[in-house]
């Protein structure tokens, strides 16, 4: 394969094994694996799931033909962090996943030995972290959410990504003891917001009010493969059934859960408009055909005029 071409895929997997499992902040041993489709590099496959919800969906990374020593090291790993970056050789690769490495298995595929790395974003921070949450009269919901998120180890928190209802606690306040994810889930059910973790960053937003992100343009010129309507037969009127679309495009790391896409299709212009993205699946293979992004359950943010 000619590595001088302008569209050579580039994938990088990094695994950090902490030196001290009780305190990952002390650093650890880093293993980096790269693939670009050439015979000199590893074959790497991935299926990464993203969605605008607090419950993490397992993502799978597969690396072919690691040495016996590396397979043994990974099999014995606990509390490791894994990141996945992907792009093209002539452009900057983009990190699309950061999470906890939960399970490592190995299987034979013909002459190859495949190492399977199963991971979930935010697992160490949200599920394993136990907290006591208390808010008294006069405390703001946004401040409490920020405080809870800040307690998550290895999770970055920015107030610009916390857009929850402008609510002040009254005399009853709020108190809860449990894991961080259960506490935030309880708050989100009571006060009407959604939270999730993406690439090691905490996000929370009021239901029905998307972040003011720039829309990612999707059309046939930049990789659109197909766009299909999503129908919900429980809608009260025929014109309200068409509430979203599924977009299949060449790999596009700029599409994010909680963000927006702007569809400008020539072949299916009836669906054109601006949508809020709810679920994403990135699939790639350095030595195979798979190299796509599917944005699922993307509902209308600003409906196109033809569907009003």
Domain ranges of the chain: 9-121, 129-206, 216-307
Given this model, what pLDDT does residue 2 score? Answer: 41
Query: Domain 9-121 maps to which CATH number in 3.30.720, 2.40.128, 2.40.10, 3.40.1710?
Result: 2.40.10
Given this model, what pLDDT does residue 301 score? Answer: 46
* Topology classification of domain 216-307: Elongation Factor Tu (Ef-tu); domain 3 (2.40.30)
**Burial grade of 31 (CB within 10 A; 0-12, 13-18, 19 or more):** middle
CB-based contacts of 5: which residues, under 8 Å, 6+ apart? 89
Given this model, what pLDDT does residue 20 score? Answer: 65
The CATH number of the structural domain formed by 129-206 is: 3.55.50.30
DSSP 110-148: TTEEEEEEEEETTIIIIIS-EEEEEE-TT-BHHHHHHHH
pTM of this structure: 0.85
Given this model, what pLDDT does residue 253 score? Answer: 92
**Burial grade of 218 (CB within 10 A; 0-12, 13-18, 19 or more):** buried
Given this model, what pLDDT does residue 18 score? Answer: 85
pLDDT tens string, the chain, 308 residues long: the values are 344 444 689 999 999 998 765 555 566 899 999 999 888 899 999 999 998 888 888 999 999 999 999 999 999 988 899 999 999 887 779 999 999 999 999 999 999 999 999 999 887 665 666 777 777 777 889 998 998 888 887 889 999 999 999 888 877 777 877 788 888 998 999 899 999 998 889 999 998 787 877 899 999 999 999 999 876 455 455 554 547 889 999 999 999 888 889 999 998 888 898 888 889 999 999 999 999 999 986 665 444 444 33
């Amino acid at each position: 394969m000619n590595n001088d071409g302008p569209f050579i895929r580039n994938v990088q997997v990094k695994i950090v094994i902490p030196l001290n499992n009780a305190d990952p902040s002390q650093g650890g041993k880093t293993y980096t694996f790269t693939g670009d489709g050439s015979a000199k590099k590893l074959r790497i496959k991935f299926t990464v799931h993203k969605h605008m919800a607090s419950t993490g969906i397992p993502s799978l990374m597969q690396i072919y033909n690691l040495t016996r020593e590396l397979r043994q090291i990974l099999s014995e790993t606990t509390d490791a962090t894994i990141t996945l970056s992907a792009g093209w050789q002539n452009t900057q690769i983009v990190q699309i996943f950061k999470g906890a490495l939960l399970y490592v298995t190995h299987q034979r595929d013909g002459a190859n030995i495949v190492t399977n790395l199963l991971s979930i974003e935010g697992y160490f921070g949200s599920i394993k972290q136990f907290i006591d949450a208390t808010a008294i009269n006069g405390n703001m919901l946004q401040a409490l959410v920020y405080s809870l998120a800040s307690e998550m180890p290895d999770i970055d928190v920015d107030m610009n990504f916390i857009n929850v209802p402008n609510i002040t606690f009254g005399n009853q306040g709020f108190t809860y003891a449990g894991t961080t994810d259960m506490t935030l889930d309880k708050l989100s059910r009571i006060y009407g917001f959604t939270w999730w973790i993406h690439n090691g960053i905490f996000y929370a937003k009021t239901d029905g009010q998307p972040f003011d992100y720039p829309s990612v343009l999707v059309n046939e010129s930049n990789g659109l493969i197909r766009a299909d309507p999503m129908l919900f037969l429980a809608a009260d009127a025929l014109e309200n059934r068409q509430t979203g679309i599924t977009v299949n495009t060449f790999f596009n790391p700029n599409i994010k859960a909680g963000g927006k896409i702007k569809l400008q299709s020539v072949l299916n212009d009836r669906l054109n408009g601006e949508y809020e993205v709810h679920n994403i699946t990135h699939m790639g293979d350095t030595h195979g055909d798979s190299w796509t992004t599917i944005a699922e359950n993307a509902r209308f943010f600003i409906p196109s005029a033809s569907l009003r």
